Structure 1
Amino acid sequence: MRAILALIAMLLLVLPRPAVAQSILRDAETEAFFRDISRDLVIAAGLEPRNVQFVLVGDPSINAFVTGGQNVFIHSGLIVAADNVNELQGVIAHEIGHIAAGHNVRFGEGAGPASKISLLSLVGAAAAMAMGAGEAGMAILGLGQTAAMGRFLAFTRDQESRTDQAGAVFLSKAGISGRGSIEFFRKLQGLEFRLAIPQNNEYARTHPLSGTRVNNLLAVYERDPAWNTPPDKALQARFERIKGKLIGFVEEPRIVMQRYPEGTNTPAALYARAYAWHRSGYPDLATAEAARLVASGPNDPYFLELQGQILLESGKVDESLPVLRQAVARAPNEPMILTLLGHALVASEDSGLQAEAEPLLRKAVTLDRENPFTWYQLGVIYDRRGDKPRAALAAAERFSLEGNAMGAMMNARMARAGLPAGTPDYIRADDITLVAGDALELQQRKKKR
C-alpha cells in the first residue's frame, strides 16, 4: 500500500494535468496548420502522419506533452510565447521523439523500481501538492528520504535528454533548422531565471535545466546543414494568423487591443480584434473586422468561416448562410466548417433547409466522429423528422464523447430498441451500450473503494 501511495505522489509531481480537466480548443485552421508543420517531422520519425493527432489545450502555461498513444497536446500559452513557426516545430519534434521512443508505454520502467522503495514522506508531499501547495510538497520531499524520487527523476531526465537528441535528428531529416529549438529553450531559461529556479542542481527536476539542454544541443544543431535555413515564409505567415486568432480568443480584450491596435490591418490583427469584439458583445465591431479580413482574402475559407460564425452567433442566421456556403465550397473536407454550416441551416428552422443540412453533418461525422456538437445537430434533425431511434443514437454518440456514460447507455438502449437488428446503426448502438456499461461498472467499483 505504501508503495502505491509513493507512486501516486510521484505521478502528482511529474505528470501534466489531464487534458480533460482543461479546455480543448477546436479550430479547423489551427488543426490543419499543426498537421502541415509536423508532417515532415512525423515521417522523419518513421510514423504515419494520419495517426498522430494534435490537440490544442486552453491553458496559459508554456507546455506540451504526449499521452494516450500518438496524441500531442499543445498548450495555448506555448503558441502565444513562441515568436515563429520554427520554435513551435522544435517543440513538436521533441514531443514526437517521446512518441517514437514509446515513453508512455515505458513509464513503468522508471516508476516501477522507484515505487518499490516505500517513503512515507511522499504521502505528505502528495497531500500538499493535491491542495495546490507544490513548493510545500517539494519541501516535505526534501525532508524525507529521497532515494526513490531521485531514481525516478533521473529516469525522466534521461528520457528528456534522449528525446532532445531524437528531436534534433527529426529536424535535420526534415531540413528544418534547430535555431527555433534553441531559441525556445532560451526563452524557458529566461523564465527559470525570473522564477528564481536554481541553476546549479537538477536533482529534483523531471527535465534537465534549459541551459543544460542548450549546451547539449547547440553543437549538434550548428553543424547541421539546415542550421541557417530560415523559417518557411508561407508557414510563418500562417503561424502569425493562428497566433493572432488565438490571442483574440484567450486573452482579455484590453490586452488584445494593446497587442493589435486599431489601424493594424494584418490578418493576425484583424483576427485578434474580431474575436475580442465578438467575445465582448460588440457584434457590429466584430462584423466590421471580419469583413475587412474577408476583403483581404475573399476566397480564404477560414476568413469566411469566421465571418459566418460571427453573423450566426449574432442572430443574423440568413446573412450567415451564403457566407458559410462559400466557406464550405472553398474547403469541402473541413468537418468543423461543414458542421458550422449545418448548424446555421438547423438554426434557420426552415424545413427545406434541414434536408440540406443532413448530408453536410453526416459528411462531417465521417471525417471527424469526435465532435459532440456535430452529433447534437444531427440529433436535432432526426428528432424534428420524427426519427426517434436515430435521434437517440446521435445523443448516445454525443454523450459518449462527453464522458457521460449514463446518458450514452440510456440513449443507446433507446436507439437499439427502435432500429432494425443487424443494421450498422443497430450495431453501433450495441457497441456504445457495451462501452458505456463497462464505464459505469468501473465507476461503481471506484465508489466502493
Structure 2
Amino acid sequence: MRLLSHILALFALAVLVAQPAAAQSILRDAETEAFLDEISAPLIEAAGLEPGNVDIVLINDPSINAFVAGGQAVYIHSGLIDAADTANEVQGVIAHELGHVTGGHVIRTGEGLATASKISILSMLAGIGAALVGGGEAAMGIIAAGQQAALGKFLAFSRTQEASADAAGAEYLSEAGITGKGSLAFFEKLLNQENRRAILQNDEAGFYRTHPLSGDRISKLTDTYRKDAAWNAPLDQEWERRFQRVKAKLQGYVAKPEYTLRDYPEGDDSTPALLARAYAYHKEARIDRALAAADMLIERSPRDPYFLELKGQVLLESGRADEALDPLRSATELTRSEPLIASMLGHALIATEDKANYEEAERVLRAAVGRDRYNPFAWYQLGVVYAARGDMARARLASAEQQVMNRQYPLALRSARAAEAELPYGSPDWLRAQDIAMEARALMEQLCEMDRAECDDRRR
C-alpha cells in the first residue's frame, strides 16, 4: 500500500497548494516589492498579462523554491533570493512561474489527479475482484501495479507541465529582450544541489520526480537560449545594483546576526554591507551601531527614501518614536506615500502618545489602506486611532479588516457585525462591514470542510 500513500499525499498536496501563503510568513518591504515589480514587469507584459494585476510575493522560507497557487500571483521563497547571484537569475525563475500562470497549471493539476485516481480506483476494484475468487497474491499484485501506474501518470503529467513552463519562460525572456543566461545559471545551482544530495540523474530516478531532470532541462534550454537574439543582451546594471541591496537587506532581516556579520564584515562599507549590518545590529539591540550605519547611508544619498525608512524604523522600534518622525515623514513624502512606509509613519505618530499627532496619523493611515487594503498592521493602527477618538464603529470595522486577513474568522465576523450595527445604514463603511461578514463566514465554512480540528480551534 506504499504507492497508495504516495497518491494520497499528492491529493493532500493539491489541497494545501490552494492557500499556501496562509501557512507561511509573507515578508513585506517597500524597496523589495518595488524592485520585484520592476524586474518582473517586462516579463509579465511578454506573457500577455497586466503588470498591475500580477503580484510577486516574498515568502519567509529558507528553501530554494518558487511557486504559483492559483490566480495571478508568483510566490518566491527568501531562500531563492539568498541563493541567486544576480537579478537576471531571479527573472529566469519569475519567467518560468509565469508560464505556470498562463498555462493554467494549478487548475489543470486537478485533471492530472483525477486521471491518476481513476487508474488507482480501477486497480483496487480489480484487485478486490481477484481476492473474492481466492487470488490473494494476485489481488495485491493488481492493486500495486495499478497504484504504480497512477503515480506514474500523475508525475508524468506534472513533468509535462514543468517542461511547458520552461518553454514559456524562455519565450517571455526572449520577448522582453532579456538574456537566458541567468535562467541557466540558476538551473546549474539546482543541479549542483541535487548532486550534493546524491540525487541520481537517470531515467529510473526521473520516473519519481515532479520536475524533469535538471540536467535534461539545462540541455534543452541551453540550445533554446543560445539561438535567441537576446542571448548576448547585457544585464541591466541598475537592476543588478539594486538586487544586491535587496539581497543584503533580506539577509540582515531574516538571518541570525552572526551569519550576517560573517558575510558582511566590518570594514566592508559598501551600501549592501551597511544595510545588512544595520539590520543585524538592530536585531542585537546595538542601536548606536545600527544608527551609525543608517547615517552613513543617508550621508551618501540624503534623498534615498529607503535609507530614511531604515533610520526611522530603528528609532521607532527602539522606543524613540519622536525622533523617528522626521526621517519617516521624509521617506513618506519622497515615495508619495508608499503604503508600507506611510503605515510605519502612522505607527510612529501613535507611538508618541501625543494626541495632537492622531489627526495626522489617521490621514496617513487612511491613505495607506486606500492604496493597499491588504495591510493588517495598518488597519490595526487605524483602529487604535478610531478608538482613541471614540469612533468605536469604525474601530470595530478596522479590527474586522485586520482579523480577516490574519485568518481570525470568528473574531472578524463578530467585529464586522458589531460595526454594521452602529454604522449609518447604507453608507460605504456599512456595506464594507457586510462584505467582511460574508467573507469571514464563507472562509470559516471552507476551513471547516478542509480541516475540522482547526475549524473548531478557531471557533473557540
TM-score (ref. length: structure 2): 0.89
Task: Name which one, 1 or 2, has greater alpha-carbon Rg.
Answer: 2
Q: Report the CA distance between 1:21 and its aligned residue.
A: 1.6
Select between 259-268 and 387-396 the one with higher mean Cα deviation. 259-268
Corresponding residue number in structure 1 for 2:136: none
Deviation at 1:360, TM superposition (A): 0.8
Q: Which residue of 1 aligns with 2:323?
A: 319
2:9 — aligned with what?
9
What residue in structure 1 maps to residue 397 of structure 2? 393
CA-CA distance at 1:373 after TM superposition: 0.3
Letter in 1 for 2:217: R
Structure 2: gaps spanning 5 or more residues: 125-142, 456-460
Q: Is the 8 A contact 1:6 1:120 kept in 2?
A: no
Which of 358, 365, 371 pairs up with 1:361? 365
Cα distance change of structure 1 residues 7 and 420 upon mapping to structure 2, 3 Å threshold: farther
Aligned to 2:107: 105
1:7-57 Cα deviation digits (max 9, x unpaired): 532145687692222211010111101110000000000001111001100
Equivalent residues of 1:53, 1:70 under 8 A apart:
yes
- For 2:105, what is the secondary structure of its paired residue? coil
Tell me the equivalent position of 1:188.
Answer: 190
The residue that corresponds to 1:291 in the other structure is 295
Deviation at 1:444, TM superposition (A): 4.8
Out of 392-401 and 247-256, give the one that drifted further. Answer: 247-256
Residues 1:77 and 2:79 aligned together:
yes
Answer yes or no: is the 8 Å Cα contact 1:6–1:115 preserved in 2.
no
Task: Indicate the residue corresponding to 2:180 in structure 1.
Answer: 178
Q: State the SS of the aligned residue for 1:180.
A: helix
Further displaced range: 349-358 or 439-448: 439-448
User: Deviation string for 1:66-92 (max 9, x for gaps)?
Assistant: 013111100000000000011000000
Alpha-carbon separation, structure 2, partners of 1:413 and 1:401: 16
Q: Quick one: distance in 1 between partners of 2:256 and 2:395?
A: 39
Q: Is the 8 A contact 2:420 2:433 kept in 1?
A: yes
Moved more, 256-265 or 172-181: 256-265
Structure-to-structure mapping, 1:171-250, within 5 angstroms: 171-201=173-203, 202-250=206-254
Whole-Å Cα distance in 1 between the matches of residues 122 and 287 of structure 2? 57
- Give the superposition deviation at 1:117: 2.5
Question: Which letter does structure 2 place at the counterpart of 1:165?
Answer: A
Q: Which amino acid aligns with 2:149?
A: A
SS class of match (1:54)? strand
Query: 3-state DSSP class of the match of 2:207?
Result: coil
SS of the aligned residue for 1:73 comes to strand
How far residue 237 of structure 1 moved from its aligned partner, in angstroms, is: 0.4
Quick one: distance in 1 between partners of 2:145 and 2:85? Answer: 41
- Structure 1 residue 6 displacement after superposition: 6.8
The match for 2:458 is: none
> Which AA in structure 2 matches 1:218?
T
Q: Is the 8 A contact 1:4 1:115 kept in 2?
A: no
Counterpart of 2:258 (choices 248, 254, 257) is: 254
2:409 corresponding residue in structure 1: 405
Partner of 1:86, secondary structure, is: helix
Aligned equivalents of 1:121 and 1:402: distance in 2? 43
Q: Secondary structure at the match of 2:63?
A: coil
Q: Which residue of 2 aligns with 1:447?
A: 452
Q: In structure 2, do the counterparts of structure 1 residues 153 and 292 end up closer, same or farther at CA, with 3 Å as the change threshold? A: same
The 8 Å contact of residues 120 and 147 in structure 2, kept in 1 or not, is answered as no
Distance 2:260 2:12 in 1: 34
Retained in 2: the 8 A contact 1:333–1:367? no
Provide the residue aligned with 2:387 in structure 1: 383
What is aligned with 2:48? 46
- Contact 2:119 2:147 (8 Å CA) reproduced: no
Shift of the alpha carbon at 1:437?
Answer: 2.0
Counterpart Cα distance in 1 of 2:215 and 2:6: 30
1:341 aligns with 2:373: no
Unaligned runs of 5+ in 1: 123-140
- Compute the displacement of 1:229 (Å): 1.6
Local SS of the residue matching 2:119: coil
Identity within the alignment, %: 53
Aligned residues: 430
In the alignment, the residues of structure 1 paired with residue 261 and residue 11 of structure 2 have an alpha-carbon distance, to the nearest angstrom, of 40
Shift of 1:350: 1.1
Cα distance in 1 for partners of 2:373, 2:253 equals 25
Q: Secondary structure at 1:55's aligned position in 2?
A: strand
